[in-house]
Structure 1
Amino acid sequence: MDPITLGIIVAVALMVLMAIGTPIAFALGGVSLMALLYDRGLPELTYFGETFFERLAEFGFVAIPMFILMGAAVASSPTGRDLYRSLDLWMGRLPAGLAVSNIGACSIFAALSGSSPATCAAIGKMGIPEMRSRGYPDGVAAGCIAAGGTLGILIPPSVTMIIYGIASETSIGRLFIAGVVPGFMLAGLFMIWTVIACKMAGGYDNPLGQAAGQMKETIKANVDTNLKALVRVLPFLAVVVGILFALYGGVAPPSEAAGVGAFLCLALAIIIYRMWQLRPIKLIMRDSLRESVMIMLVIACAEVFAYALSSLFITQTVAGAIADLEVNRWVLMAVINLFLLVAGFFLPPVAVIVMTAPILLPIILAANFDPYWFAVVLTINLEIGLITPPVGLNLFIIKGIAPDISLRNILMGSLPYALCMVLAIILLCFFPGIALWLPNLLMG
């Protein structure tokens, strides 16, 4: 059987398995195993096991559970609540100030947790009821939180950037720095649209008249409380800044920086928020272990999948076919982005990166695109999948937080933010320095 036909069969089998609810790791591993057994026979089982465990044995993967533990310590503490209160104090008087402060809180919390679902849940639990009580449209209240949560995989430290760095053998520190300016640029685009959306809806912040005025008076009366909340958040921000300095300054490798960051965030959560009981610490460890095992299993099975594609000459054939298209490199980039967009509709970012990296990276380098710039473009592209059907993880998190808001309103409120992400990708294509200026300045 020729590689193209075999590749189509493998792709269809994979989509069928995921469509019927098979976990991504099991779908990847099962399809890979069947393809290898079909082409090579039973002796290939030896290489299947070796490839599976050899990938997980890489020391660089130690950073992943450490960063997840760091994020879990932040997400499980009242840090999000304090961050929300302090930003509402300073930004609440701006046009559409409460919604804008929610996006700011998502941006900072994303840097602390490195997780889009955690950011969406932590800020949304406080922000959505508060915005709705002040009369903000349901679509704006849900959409700004859903979109703000996606920043968790772009603003460093980001688990997806770590996985991309390991898959592409690029500097994780440089990847982190490359995501800083685009991350805050995207947050700025979100804020601009939020103000526009509120004005289009007929105003913001005071449609309930007296009730909203009473809330403002309450906020003014609690200035001291909100300032103390800001002080409690600052040590966590200092940890993130220290991690970035250690990475781009060459002080420590990612695994060691992640270990120190996880320990400090866990210690700060225990000390600042007096989490002395065993139960909250047990929950942090449980959530960290569960997410780490899930990600590592996906990575291991995706490595087997990549090995199967390579062994069956599917990867080489597809890459050669794309390279032989003889089209302008920007047309090629548009095709790649369309492919990633469709993949992100159905798969989580981690799975997309580990599955597509073996195919896309040689093509990207051959077309003379910067791998660090491409990492940012890829990440923003995958963020769109977090707020669009059919998977749209952040949409369902918002639905769980505010079950009385219809899924249609959540989706319609989120789609304009997806267009903001498309605009960000276009800006990065015209001005690649947005992603490359800071890492070039700091790291040469």
Structure 2
Amino acid sequence: MSIALLSVILLVLLFAFLGSGLWVAFSLLGVGIAAMALFTEAPLGLVMATTLWGHSNSWALAALPLFIWMGEILFRSRLSEDMFAGLSPWMNRLPGQLLHVNVFACGIFAAVSGSSAATAATIGKLSIPELTQRGYPEKMVIGTLAGSATLGLLIPPSIILIVYGVATEQSIARLFVAGVLPGVLLVSLFVGYVALWALVNRKSLPDEALHVGFGEKLRRSRRLLPVIALIAGVIGSIYTGLASPTDAAAVGVVLALVLSWSTGTLSRKSFIEGLMGATVTSCMIAFILAGASFLTVAMGFTGIPRILAEWIGGMELSTYTLLAALTVFFVVMGCFLDGISVVVLTASVVMPMVQAAGIDPLWFGIFLVVVVEMSQITPPVGFNLFVLQSLTGRDILSVAVAALPFFVLMAVALVIIVIFPGIVTYLPGRM
């Protein structure tokens, strides 16, 4: 049987499993089992047992549930309210005024939650009623939230970067540090667009020139100090080499509990809800990773990734052409699957191509996450669109149209990091 026919059979089988509603993890396992049983002579049971155990018993993976738990704790705290109060006095004089609070608040919360959907839900619950009541255009309120919430995938500690690091055997600490400057780039593009839009559409914004003295601004900004200390403690300890990502995650959980306790939002109920939420999410991701790891090994036995990489190499595509094709591929995949599933599902096939083309796997991880960010605001399965639809009551198409300019801005950021790869590799190179 030819490799092309084998690939088509396995792909059809995968989509059949996913289309039937079978969990992603079991769909991946099922395709791996079929590939091993039908097209190889390797001992299926032994390979499955050793692969699942070997990839589940990973110290690097321990950081995942801890960072998720940290985000769950902060999701139930007063953090979003404190950020809005601390940021709004400084944003009032900028073109776009309080629309910038969405961008910066999402950037800050992303740095402590690691989740795009949690960022959209947490900041949106506070800012949507507040900004619409003040008279800000709903389309821009929704758009800034949809775009800026995707920063939760990129700004460390990012859950999807941990998944990518485990799936491709890359250093999670270096991936975290590599995501810092691209995250700053995206925030800058979002702020620049909001300011430019505000200058062109002055009449669409409310006339609220609130004059707050410098002393009052500093007093309100004190509410930002705890979360800034949390970010500095987690990211700073990783960047300076004082702690591994797993150690830093444990420190982050402790600091999050202290922060929640100090604001009076930590209770027995919120503690249990946060712990159970983190357990459910972590188990889901762990199952997906286990299924993906077995599929990766099964694909290795069939020889598909190696032959596919050789085929791509034989086409002599330029690096830019390959990246453009992969961008379209990942955005289309993201229309039907969540970001984590996209990463683990495609790693076994895509990484041999990437390495054969001489692309740095560390740089490609950030590139991939930015593309997955784009897919988070692409219908029909853009998770951020669903979150904002539930918060606003608008139909999914209206939310997607509001998010479109930010999709374009992320595409611009993608082009920038392709032309200037040092934006990604500079900080990791200094570790």
TM-score, normalized by length of structure 1? 0.91
Q: Which residue of 2 aligns with 1:353?
A: 343
1:275–1:281 CA contact under 8 A, matched in 2: no
Partner residue in 2 for 1:398:
388
Counterpart for residue 186 of structure 1: 186
Q: Is the 8 A contact 1:399 1:406 kept in 2?
A: yes
Output one character per residue of 1:328-364: Cα deviation in whole Å (capped at 9) or x when no partner.
2221222222222222222222222222223323332
Equivalent residue in structure 2 for 1:311, among 295, 301, 322: 301
Partner of 1:71: 71
Q: Where does 1:238-277 land on structure 2 (aligned, <5 Å)?
A: 238-270=229-261, 272-277=262-267
**Quick one: distance in 2 between partners of 1:438 and 1:99?**
30
How many Å apart are 1:46 and its aligned residue?
3.4
- Aligned to 2:98, the other structure's residue is in SS state helix
Counterpart mapping for 1:7-406 below 5 A: 7-40=7-40, 43-198=43-198, 203-206=203-206, 213=208, 230-270=221-261, 272-403=262-393, 405-406=394-395
* Structure 2: distance between partners of 1:29 and 1:266: 37
Q: SS in structure 2 opposite 1:390?
A: coil
Cα distance in structure 1, aligned partners of 2:138 and 2:306: 48
Q: CA 1:342/1:274 → structure 2, altered by over 3 Å: closer, same or farther?
A: same
Answer yes or no: is the 8 Å Cα contact 1:83–1:229 preserved in 2: no
Q: Secondary structure at the match of 1:396?
A: helix
Match of 1:425?
Answer: 414
SS in 2 for 1:97: coil
> Aligned equivalents of 1:42 and 1:172: distance in 2?
32
Q: Which amino acid aligns with 1:79?
A: L
CA distance in 2 between partners of 1:359 and 1:40 (Å): 18
Distance 1:155 1:236, change over 3 A: same
Q: Which moved more, 1:148-157 or 1:301-310?
A: 301-310
Quote how far apart the aligned CAs of 1:276 are: 4.6
In 2, the alpha carbon distance for the partners of 1:133 and 1:275 equals 26
Measured in 1, the distance between the counterparts of 2:419 and 2:41 equals 49
CA shift in 2, pair 1:275/1:130, >3 Å: closer
Partner letter of residue 164 of structure 2? Answer: Y
Deviations along 1:339-398, one digit per CA (max 9) or x if unpaired, are: 222222222222222222233233323322222222221111010110001210000000
The answer for the alignment partner of 2:401 in structure 1 is 412
Give the letter for the 1:372 counterpart: L
CA distance in 2, matches of 1:228, 1:88: 12
- In structure 2, give the amino acid aligned to 1:421: M
Q: Percent identity?
A: 34
C-alpha contact (below 8 Å) 1:388/1:411 kept by paired residues = yes
Of 410, 414, 437, the match for 2:426: 437
Q: CA deviation at 1:114?
A: 0.9
Cα–Cα, structure 1 residues 265 and 276, in superposed 2: closer, same or farther, change >3 Å? closer
Shift of 1:204: 3.7
Could you tell me whether the CA contact under 8 Å between 1:113 and 1:152 is conserved in 2? yes
Q: Deviations over 1:123-175 (max 9, x none)?
A: 01111122222222222111110111100010111111122222332222221
CA contact (8 A) 1:136 1:198 kept: no
The alpha carbon displacement at 1:300 in A equals: 0.6
- The residue identity in structure 2 corresponding to 1:420 is L
Structure 1: where are the runs of 5+ without partners? 207-211
- Looking at structure 2, the residues matched to 195 and 410 of structure 1 have their Cα atoms a distance apart, in angstroms, of 21
Structure-2-length-normalised TM-score? 0.93
Other structure's SS at 1:252 match: coil
